[in-house]
Structure formats: structure tokens, C-alpha cells
Amino acid sequence: MPESYADSRPPKPVETSELTESAVQRRTMVVLVIMQVIGTVAVGVAPSIGVLLAGEVADNEAWAGLARTASTLGAALVGLPLGNLAARHGRRIALASGWWAAAAGGALVVVAAQWSLLVPLFVGLLLIGAGSATGLQARFAATDLAEPQREGRALALVVWVGTLGSVLGPNLGVPGEFVSRATGLTVFASAFLITAICLAVAGTIVFTFLRPDPLVLLSQRTAPKRNVAAGKQRGRIRMVWAELRTNEYARYALIAILTAQTVMVAVMTMTPVHVAHQGGSVTIVGITISLHIAGMYGLSPVVGFMTDRYGHRVTIVIGIVIFLASLIIGAGIPDDTGAIMVSLILLGVGWSFVNVGGSALFAAVVSNQTRASSQGGVDALANLFGATAAFAAGPLLAVSSFTALNVLSIIVLVPLVILTVGIGRINIGAHQSR
């Protein structure tokens, strides 16, 4: 029997006071949840109001589409640096820096919106992408001090509260109208002023209250000398790749996360276009995407519980099956709006199972020496793969069909299916994380 992946990380030390550790974890979760709610609401404005603003400033629909790519690219570029910052200085500094960088981007967009400046607009949206990367890193911060049997639930809770960003963010234009009347700013500039303030508040909350820092505390309690030395080493990226080469469970988790992101983004991005081509109204498109987002996040706490109770692989297997059901419906019944709605709900649920299961597995098996940097790298790659999938899906739909897009997505799932079957020979249990 191959060595369990539990041995790939240093064992969690026995604490002198379990109550103290539990209290620190509870405090960490409260801070992360409050921070996540405020921050993701602000970040949620970029894919909606940001797109409308870009179209108005540039007077070109193509530029409007690039606005969403800018924020996604920003998240991809910032993911690894944020992870490295956390590795050197802890979660508190990294998360606060990410939110504040996004706040600076929001302030820049205010200027761009008020005076119709194209370059500052895209630079600002790029910086707001740092908020997306920060929100993603927060889910890993939730697992730093979590008990092995509760890691999945802790991670899933932070993912779940991020739903508020997707739901409330696009509606910041409403309070933006009140701010506009009070300040004389345009409605778009007012919406992004609210965004900048919320992002700054999120950074201030985590900087002020995330004490003690969960990652610093974990490092001190496990291998202080080794981790301090590691924080001063150059070539941190080489260390991450070295671990991925030798840690098959981390590779498997990474492939699961990247596959889920690629499949979900490719199909989701083109579904509104397909529904519109079939004669669907803007209302139908909005309902379809809302149901998809509900599928992505609504069941996260349940998925987290199942991950802790039944294991990472079981959760990923369930996600793969749901993905396949979604893609088969999308490929087989592309002309039925009701079927497309069902397909997109299942697409979101499948993503939730694979993403939460894969992220929890990655957090469990990666070594403390490269923990934060590796997690930042995962988020950077996920955003990069998502942006690439969104970019490629458009031309693919233009030259083929929605059915072909779903069939190709099924093919993308095949390597993950093969790996899941192979890794199933090893017992990936729910309580072997450390």
C-alpha cells in the first residue's frame, strides 16, 4: 500500500489548550466571513457595472467584453504574489494588501468613470481583480487552524458567503444613484466609489482583527525554524513546482480545480449568447445565470460537510457525475430553454462539488513549507484557465455550435475521470488530512 498522503505534511502538534486553538479558529472564521461579505460585494460590481461602464466609455461592445477579462486577468496575476506574501508575512498582511490594492483600483475607476478615461478604467479593473484573488485566498485561510474533520466545512463556508458578492455587487448601481445625487458624480462613478470604500473597509477589518494570524501560528507551532528559513529563500516558485512533482495528491487536487474551472467558465460564458440566439429575452438570460450562480454556491456548506464526512474523492466523483449530466443535457437538448436552465444549474453544482473537494484536498496535503505560495499559485492558474476558456469559447461557438462546446467540455473532463479512477486505489479518507 502506498504511503498515505497524510504523511506529506508535518503532523499538527498537540496543543496545550484545545480551547485556545478552537477560540482562535472561531475568531478567524468570524473575521473571514465579515471580510468576505463586504469585499466580495465590492468585487461583484466589476463583471456587471464595469462592463457597462467600459461600453459607455469606449462606445464599443468589444471593449465592454474586455472589461471582464481585465478583472479576471488581474486575479490571475495577483494570485501567486499574494500567496508568496502570505508565506513571508502571514494571511493578515496578504489579505489586507489584496483588498487595499483592489480599493486603489476602485478609486481609479471612479476617476475614469467621471471623466471617461479608457486606460485608467482598465488599469483600475485590473487592480480590482486583486480583490477576487484575495477572496479566493480567504477560503484557504479558513483551513489553516481548522480541525482535520472540519476543514471542508470551514473552506465551504467562506466560499458560500462569497455568493453575496455575485448577488449584491451588480446592484450597487441603485445606491450609486443616491450617492450621485449627493456628490454630483455620475452613477457609474458613484457605484465604484462605494466599491472602493467597501474594499478598503474589508482590508482594514482583516488587518485589524485577524490576530493571531492563523498561518503564522500554524508555522510557529509546526516547524518554526524551517518555515522562517523558507520564507527567506529565493526561488519560491521552484519550491512549489518541486512539491507538485513529488506530491501526487496535490497534483490531483490541482487538476480537479483547473478542470472544473475550465469546463464551468467555457459553458457558462457562452450560454447567454446561445439563449439569446434561440430567442430568449434578457430576463430569461438573467434568470438562467442567477440559477447557475445559486448552483455554484448555494450548496457549498452541504458539499463541505460531505467532504469532511465521506472524503475528498467521493465529493469529486459526485461533481464529475453532475458535470457529465449537465453537459449531456446541454449537448442533447440545446434548443430547449428549460433544459438549458437545468443544464446550467447542474453545471454550477458540479463545479461546487469538484472545486470544494479539490480545494479542501489541496489544503490538506500540501506541505506547510510551501502552503501559502502553492495555494496562491492554484488560484492564479484557476483564474488564468478560466480567462483562457472564456476567450476560446466565443470563437468555438461561432464556428460550431452549443452542442459542440458541451461535447468538447466532456472531453476536457476525461483526464480527471482517469486520474480519479487511478487514485481511487489509495484510501483518500475524510480524516487522513494531517
4 domain-assigned: no
**Which range of residues forms the domain containing residue 386?**
236-434
Regarding predicted confidence, which is higher, 238 or 335? 335
Is pLDDT of 111 > 90?
A: yes
Q: Which one-letter amino acid corresponds to residue 350?
A: G
Does 158 lie in the same domain as 136?
A: yes
Residue 429 binned pLDDT confidence (cut-offs 50, 70, 90)? very low
Q: What is the pLDDT of residue 38?
A: 94
Burial class of 298 by CB neighbour count within 10 A (0 to 12, 13 to 18, 19+) = middle
Q: What is the pLDDT of residue 72?
A: 82
Is pLDDT of 127 > 90?
A: yes
For 58, list phi and psi in degrees, rounded to 5: -85, -20
Of 233, 253, 275, which residue constitutes the final position of a domain? 233
Does 111 lie in the same domain as 221?
A: yes
Does 292 lie in the same domain as 189?
A: no
Q: What is the pLDDT of residue 235?
A: 57
In 3-state terms, the chain is what percent helix, strand and coil (to 5)?
A: 85, 0, 15
How far is Cα 186 from Cα 116, in angstroms, rounded to an integer? 10
Q: What is the pLDDT of residue 41?
A: 86
126 domain-assigned: yes
Does 216 lie in the same domain as 251?
A: no
Is pLDDT of 361 > 60?
A: yes
CATH of the domain at 254: 1.20.1250.20
Does 310 lie in the same domain as 328?
A: yes
248 domain-assigned: yes
Does 350 lie in the same domain as 310?
A: yes
Q: What is the pLDDT of residue 213?
A: 94
Q: What is the pLDDT of residue 233?
A: 42
What average pLDDT does range 371-382 have in this prediction?
89
Q: What is the pLDDT of residue 114?
A: 94
Is pLDDT of 226 > 50?
A: no
Is pLDDT of 26 > 80?
A: yes
7 domain-assigned: no
Does 272 lie in the same domain as 225?
A: no
Does 227 lie in the same domain as 256?
A: no
C-alpha 99, offset from chain centre: 15
394 domain-assigned: yes
Q: What is the pLDDT of residue 394?
A: 79
Residue 6 binned pLDDT confidence (cut-offs 50, 70, 90)? very low
Residue 212, preceding peptide bond in cis (omega within 30° of 0): yes
The average confidence (pLDDT) of the chain is 84
58 domain-assigned: yes
9 domain-assigned: no
Query: pLDDT digit string (tens) for 46-75?
Result: 766 776 787 788 776 556 557 667 888 888
407 domain-assigned: yes
What average pLDDT does range 180-205 have in this prediction?
93
Is pLDDT of 427 > 90?
A: no
Of 168, 202, 233, which residue constitutes the final position of a domain? 233
Does 243 lie in the same domain as 211?
A: no
Does 262 lie in the same domain as 209?
A: no
Domain count, the chain: 2
Q: What is the pLDDT of residue 425?
A: 52
User: Taking each helix axis from N to C terminus, what angle separates 173-183 and 187-209, rounded to the nearest 10 degrees?
Assistant: 110
What average pLDDT does range 398-413 have in this prediction?
93
Of 213, 233, 253, which residue constitutes the final position of a domain? 233
Q: What percent of the chain has pLDDT over 90?
A: 50
Does 341 lie in the same domain as 240?
A: yes
Does 369 lie in the same domain as 298?
A: yes
